[in-house]
Amino acid sequence: MKKRLYSITITNTQADHGFATSTSGRSLLFKPTLKKEDGFNPGELLAFSWATCLESTLRYVLEINSMSFKTYTEVDFHMELDQGPPIGYQFYYDARLYMDTDDVIQIKNFVEETHQRCPISKLLKTRNITIKGISLKKEATQD
């Protein structure tokens, strides 16, 4: 059984050349990945999210295992142009979870449990998303 704990809608009408806004009233400035402008690019934002989620989850995993030592997480993001088929951009991410312990078995176990529990990891490795097209004309007539 699932219980919804949080819900928000993000609206983007400017692609990666402006702001995306949320129903909470917050907004983020986006920029194209290859441009040196103010703002975040979509791949970078996902790297921030995954690094934060992994680090928070790792700390929780340590806590429930009655462990306490220094940790930090790094996520590398790079984008490549796939020559296809189909032709298009591909995002790649590599995460590293650092722990102040020499026990490699313990590190391996904590990484596995963290990756299993982290909601962003779950999103990246499962089909937890949906996508659909909706006509703006149809939506306007439904009000």
The domain segmentation of the chain, as residue ranges, is: 1-39, 42-135
Write down the pLDDT at residue 127: 65
Distance CA 46, CA 31 (A): 14
pTM: 0.84
Is pLDDT of 112 > 90? Answer: yes
Distance CA 46, CA 40 (A): 10
- Top-confidence residue, 37 or 134: 37
Least trusted range by pLDDT, from 19-23, 53-57, 81-85 = 81-85
Encoded tokens for 4? 């919804």
pLDDT in tens, 62-104: 999 999 999 999 999 999 998 878 888 888 899 999 999 999 9
Tokens 């020559």 sit at which residue?
A: 83
CATH of domain 42-135: 3.30.300.20
